[in-house]
Amino acid sequence: REKATLNDWMCAYAMAVGEENAAGHMVVTAPTNGAAGVIPAVLYYFVKHNNGTMEQVRDFLFTAGAIGGIIKHRSSVSGAEVGCQGEIGSAASMAAAGLCAVLGGTPQQIENGAEIALEHHLGMTCDPVNGLVQVPCIERNGFGAVKAYTAASLAMHGSGQHIMPLDGCIAAMKQTGLEMSDKFKETSLGGLAVSISEC
């Protein structure tokens, strides 16, 4: 039997939170219930597999929260306003920044990690099947966690110098969300929500 990979663990941790949310149990909005698995998955992976300390947990969460605050102030974290790019994209951005912080990243690397994670979620629609936060939401948490980890890794291997600043990426997300059809913003009137087989 093959040994579990980083991707396996990240997806398992993130999807477990998504399952709890779908079952109506209590989760922490991070930044929303539908995207609540990304941040704890990346944080739990770091703590469990890297012997993270409580001080590092605080640093991770403070950094993630700061990035989330910036995104919410300058755009939105709501799928109903900007699509899933605002939910899973923001969560991945927050998680990447938090991970960079506990890995000893510079402020430039932290900002770069947040930007990379958000950039690769731009345009993502919010189109839950049957209006439930299950398909594709639960799996998207897993992919968001993997992307967050990858973004942090890319940023940590760089100097912090990059072409697109986080503020520019947030502005692009807002513009994309404003121009996105309402069919793709949590209404279940388009995308995957209307593509499921009836038989």
* pLDDT for res 160: 83
By CB atoms closer than 10 A (0-12, 13-18, 19+), residue 195 is: exposed
Residues linked to residue 185 through DSSP beta bridges, in sequence order: 126
71's tokens: 């995104």
* pLDDT for res 2: 83
Give me the residue label for tokens 């950039």: 119
**Which tens digits make up the pLDDT trace of 80-130?**
999 999 999 999 999 999 999 999 999 999 999 999 999 999 999 999 999
* Main-chain phi, psi angles of 178, to 5 degrees: -65, -35
Question: What does the angle CA 13 – CA 19 – CA 20 come to, to the nearest 5 degrees?
Answer: 95
* pLDDT for res 198: 66
Residue of 67, 51, 143, 74 lying closest to 100 (CA atoms): 67
Cα 84 to Cα 7, 51, 52, 135, distances in angstroms: 21, 32, 30, 12
**Which tens digits make up the pLDDT trace of 169-196?**
999 999 999 999 999 999 999 999 999 8
Q: Domain-by-domain residue ranges, the chain?
A: 6-189
Give dist(CA 125, CA 83) in Å, integer: 5
Give me the residue label for tokens 């890995």: 103
124's tokens: 């993502």
User: What is the distance of C-alpha 43 from the center of its chain?
Assistant: 12
**Which tens digits make up the pLDDT trace of 148-157?**
999 999 999 9
Average pLDDT (69-79) is: 98
* Main-chain phi, psi angles of 185, to 5 degrees: -125, 70
Residue of 71, 107, 92, 84 lying closest to 10 (CA atoms): 92
